[in-house]
Structure 1
Amino acid sequence: MDLFSQENIKMYFFENRLKTFEGWPFNEDCTCTPENMAKAGFVHTPSDNCPDIAMCFFCLKELEGWEPEDDPEKEHKSHSPSCHFITLKKKVEELTVEEFVKLQKEKQKFLINKTGKEAITKLEEAVKLRRAEIIKTSMGEE
């Protein structure tokens, strides 16, 4: 994976995150407007069942069940305090190359962690199924 491909870095920019909020259920008279969501690092990742799912492009934390008064930045910090993007002290455009590379390294750690956890979950589910089959077979059931 090329950490510095255009696809990999485009969500660092507010405008690109904001574009994902088409169809976002909260617009006016809310704290969780598309602008505030994008500012807090979120991209809109709706599903058929949940139109208000948003995920941090950086730490990959998904949040749903938004209320109009929810503050996206506070929610992000409380649910993912180790996210380096939400704790940035400067704008992405002001980062030095060295700071950006360090940030990309941290983002990669989140991706590896999430991928690893998903793989472990799939393995554990497969083990449960296989164990049930073995027990069933050993008891003479087919």
Structure 2
Amino acid sequence: MPTLRETLLTSLHARLSALPASVLRGEVLPERVPAGGVVILRDGDPGEPEVTLSPLRYHYAHRAELEVVVQDRERDAAFDTLCAGIGTALAADRTLGGLCDWVEPEAPRPVDLPVEGAASLKAAVIPVVLHYTLADPLA
């Protein structure tokens, strides 16, 4: 049986898979970026939990990361559209079906990456903070 942490990341990946981009989890950037762009979900870091006693609970603010990459002549507009789609997908259900307390994306910091002999890439990492509570840090 998967842990809550794995269930949350799987649910986040499934929610993002509805985007018109290619959505991967833990993969390397493909050699060719599809027309709709690529989103790669990285598991990230659960960080140090806040702990409450009686009953013992571990409260996490887990920082997963979305690597967003587009390659298009109109890469600024394509990047903006993809980021807005991610925001809409996450806002539709901030608890991932009741699995966590809250899902909060942070603003991207885009960069333009030149590619020799091809259209430039526009990329960013978008942190997504998953707030959840566990009775056991390994559960």
* TM tier relative to shorter chain: under 0.3
Question: TM-score if structure 1 supplies the norm length?
Answer: 0.26
Higher relative contact order (CA 8 A, sep 6+): 2
Question: TM-score if structure 2 supplies the norm length?
Answer: 0.26
Structure with greater helix percent: 1
Structure with greater strand percent: 2
Say which one has the larger Rg.
1
